[in-house]
Every structure is written in structure tokens, then in C-alpha cells.
Chains A and B, each alone.
Chain A
């Protein structure tokens, strides 16, 4: 504890007292020698990883060492990036630095992790450096499976942006949207489940249509070619599209478009089982899986996602590793930032309990996904989840209803903004 640290709250002091007690017990057992505190390493600085690291440090204090490994020097949140595409936020608003974590006493290592050596319990960085761990909290996020859409590739994403990882792709899609003419046609490809942010594509469609209409381009048309027959909050979105931007958004399930056969960046077109759909702008959200580092470490199932033990988000393949966030198969929890943060807290307290010999609290998984249908029209869906039959299942849920009063929809927008401030404060301090 240094003089530059934040003042401690009464509660933090109590928990820290507990941490000091744990350290003391270890010191006694080591016959007077003070051992180094156990090492918690968090890989990935998104919503799950950052919250896990900060929760572990805040509750574990000096009894543990916490290291966060993240390649990017700053983080652009995927959540609220649709707001940026529609011109409701700037990139700066969704870009955050990690200085707050370092100030908390978390060692932040900006390096690209190349592999996990599970036998040696260490992470190997691209620089050759290794970072040993006693417990690893793995929050690597998703990999986009470009090749799963014939004709699509990382190079093609420069012509047909996915913008499903926030950053330059977000800026690209925004500028492409701005450049469209008054009667432009847009085609959006939406992947099969599971994927990051289930309502995200439909919110994006609503906000793109809003932007086009608000800038005198109500003659533009956006066609969604979906890989699914139904989608999250479907009635709310369909009602919203018709109300705010009538006729501008068309949604076609595979039983109508006949399935996606291929995309062609050269002609800006998509061939389906029904016909060829051409567009002035085509955005392809490809199918996804857990990031390669988790798959390469043997922590994923054949479906490409990492299974977890519900009580602690621990990998059934390795009891020293917890997998959280979009890479994990968290039962009925969707892949959202809110869910990742919730899982990050569960993993952090489970690791602390494990390392320090404390009783492990029962997890309380929670999620809320807010979506904008228009800048002043928000909807939400969410639930409390619990362990059920070896999986994570809904205990009590809630969802917005069609035809709600405008004030309630406006309030949901306020909630979303409030949540953004809260989660980024929790992630970055």
C-alpha cells in the first residue's frame, strides 16, 4: 500500500483485513519466511477480463498479485459501437485506457499472448517472455470465422466491413454509411447462433436506418439476410423498424432467402438460394468461435467454444483455468459485455476463495442487454441465472413489451447510458 493509492473504504478495509489474515496464515506455515502472494493472471482486457482483474484486486488486496495481459494499449468497447456507426457517439467516447488498473496495483502487461503452457502454468508472449500463474482467468473474446462465408476473408472485410470487433472496422462502416446516396441499398448478413451480442445486428439495422432517414436518405433500403428463422427481441425490433423507419428495413430468414451461398466483394453482391442480392454497402457479420489462444490450449469443445463448470466459470479441462466472457459456453447467458462482467466477478471471487482458503460465495449471474430502436427508443431483455442441472439457466427474466409508453422507452435509453458509465467505470476505474 503506497501513499498514492486511493483512500480505502470501510468495507474495503474489512475485506483487506481478511486478505492480510490469509497472508499471515501462509507466512506462519512457511515458518517465518514471507512467500510471494499467489499469482492471478487475467488474459484479455475486455469487459470480462478487466472486471475480473479489478474485482480480484479490490477484494484480494495484497494477499494476491493480479496481472492483466492485453495486447491493445487502449480498449474500444464493442458495446455502444453501433451508436458510433450511427453518429450518436464519437470513437473517443468508447475508447478507454488501462491506467486505472495500474493505479489499483494491477500489473498491466501490454503484449500479445501467443500460447498458454498449461503444464508449466504460464502464458507465453510474442516477445518470448513468460508470465507464470497460479490461476488463469481467460477472457480472450471471439475469433471471426471469415472463411465460414464463402468469398469472405479478412481482406474482403475492407470492402464488406463486419465492424463486429470495435476499432478501425467501426470507423470504416461509419464512413461507408455516411457516403451512401439517398436511395442506396444495404445488405447485412447475420450469423447463426451463438455469436457476440445477439440483438446487436438488429440494433445496428435500426440505427443505420435512423441515420439514413435523419440525413434525408429515407429512400435507402436495408435488407437483412439472416442465418436464423427467429431472433432476439424480434417483435420489438420489427415493430420499431416499422414505426421509426417504415419500409426501410427488410428482414429475411433462410426459409425465404434460401440460405447464404457466397459473397463477392468484387461485385458487392451476395448469392443466396433464392437470388443474388446486390448492395451499395454490404456488411457481413461472420460466424464466430472462441479466440484461437483458448482453442489452441485445448480448452474448447469441437464446436469452438469453451465449456465451463457453472459454479465458478472454471474449465472442466483444467482446474487452474477459468474461462469467462464471449469465449465461454455459459448456458443460457448470451454473449454480452454485461454477462462477461458478471462472469468476471464470479471467476474472481472463486479464484480468491480457492487461493486463500475462503468459502466461495454462490454465484449470481445476471445480464441485461439494452438495444436502441431509435435514439430515444430503447428496449431491454435480461435475466438472473443460476446453476441448474449442471448448466447455467434462467431463474427470473424480463423483457420490454411492444407498445410501451414513450417515456418508458426513453428511460431504457437512460438506463443504457447509465450502464455504459457504470461498466466502464468498473472496468477501467
Chain B
């Protein structure tokens, strides 16, 4: 899998809303498409995106083939303390790729 891309502010104040934007370049092959040879292209999708902050789950997305190629998710959480946000992508077959970002929260 390609390197996931994650954007969030580097430094915020406690009580701020922290926007999270995560993108992974991935074909999200639906399994419902015919290839050039006329045969069905086998399904290969990212079926889970798990976002956690210091080990606590913030958002877990279970994806179906109806999610667009290059799955993108945007959400927000409340800045309470400094720590690491982790996003783990799991694709069919079990392969995983993860990206982390540290956010410093000023009191």
C-alpha cells in the first residue's frame, strides 16, 4: 500500500476543535468490475480505517466497495491533552499500513 497522508494542526490550545483529514491512495477495487480480458477484477479494498488517540478509539470506519477510490475521511475531535493520533488502514488479505501525527496541546 502507498504511504497514507494525514493532516492535523501541529499545535492547538486545550478546548480547541482539532480537524483531522486522512487520505490513502488505493484503488478500492470493488470486485464488480470487468477487466480488459473480460474477466472479473478481484475485489481488493481497504475495509477498515481505525483512528485512535493515545490508544483510545476516536473513529472506526468499516468500508464497503461503495467508498470511492483513494478513501478519504475527515472528522474532528476535542483537544484535551498532547498526544499521538494514529490512523491504521487494513486492506483485504489483512495487510496494514499506519500513519501517526503528534499534536501538542497547550493548556
Which residues of A are in contact with B by a Cβ distance under 8 Å? 221, 223, 242-244, 246-247, 250, 252, 256-258, 273-275
> What total of chain B residues lie within 8 Å of the partner, measured CB to CB?
15
In the complex, which residue of chain A has the Cβ closest to the Cβ of B41? A246
In the complex, which residue of chain B has the Cβ closest to the Cβ of A273? B7
Contact partner of B25 among A223, A246, A273, CB < 8 A? A223
Q: Which residues of B have CB within 8 Å of A242?
A: 33
The answer to whether B7 touches A247 (Cβ under 8 A) is no
Q: Which residues of B have CB within 8 Å of A243?
A: 36
The answer to whether B7 touches A258 (Cβ under 8 A) is yes
Q: How distant is the Cα of A161 from the Cα of B25 in the complex, in angstroms?
A: 24
Q: Which residues of A have CB within 8 Å of B36?
A: 243-244
The answer to whether B23 touches A256 (Cβ under 8 A) is yes
Residue B69 lies at the interface, judged by CB distance under 8 Å to chain A: yes
> Chain A nearest CB: distance from B86 CB in Å?
17
- Which 5 A-B pairs have CB atoms at the shortest separation, nearest pair first? A275-B5, A247-B27, A274-B7, A256-B72, A250-B70
In the complex, which residue of chain A has the Cβ closest to the Cβ of B70? A250
Q: Given A221-B25, A247-B27, A256-B70, do A274 and B33 touch, yes or no (CB 8 Å)?
A: no
The answer to whether B69 touches A250 (Cβ under 8 A) is yes
Q: Given A252-B70, A258-B7, A274-B5, do A246 and B27 touch, yes or no (CB 8 Å)?
A: yes
Q: Which residues of B have CB within 8 Å of A258?
A: 7, 21
> Chain A nearest CB: distance from B29 CB in Å?
8
Residue B55 lies at the interface, judged by CB distance under 8 Å to chain A: no
The secondary-structure label for the interface of chain B is strand
Q: Which residues of B have CB within 8 Å of A275?
A: 5-7, 23
Q: Which residues of A have CB within 8 Å of B27?
A: 246-247
Q: How distant is the Cα of A243 from the Cα of B38 in the complex, in angstroms?
A: 11
Q: Which residues of B have CB within 8 Å of A257?
A: 23
Q: Given A246-B41, A252-B70, A256-B72, do A274 and B25 touch, yes or no (CB 8 Å)?
A: no
In the complex, which residue of chain B has the Cβ closest to the Cβ of A241? B69
Q: Which residues of A have CB within 8 Å of B21?
A: 258, 274
Residue B35 lies at the interface, judged by CB distance under 8 Å to chain A: yes
In the complex, which residue of chain A has the Cβ closest to the Cβ of B22? A274
In the complex, which residue of chain B has the Cβ closest to the Cβ of A275? B5
A-B contact pairs, 20 of them (CB 8 A): A221-B25, A223-B25, A242-B33, A243-B36, A244-B36, A246-B29, A246-B35, A246-B41, A250-B70, A256-B23, A256-B72, A258-B7, A273-B7, A274-B5, A274-B7, A274-B23, A275-B5, A275-B6, A275-B7, A275-B23
Q: Which residues of A have CB within 8 Å of B69?
A: 250
Contact bitstring B21-64, A, C-beta under 8 A = 1, else 0: 10101010100010110000100000000000000000000000
Q: Which residues of B have CB within 8 Å of A252?
A: 23, 70
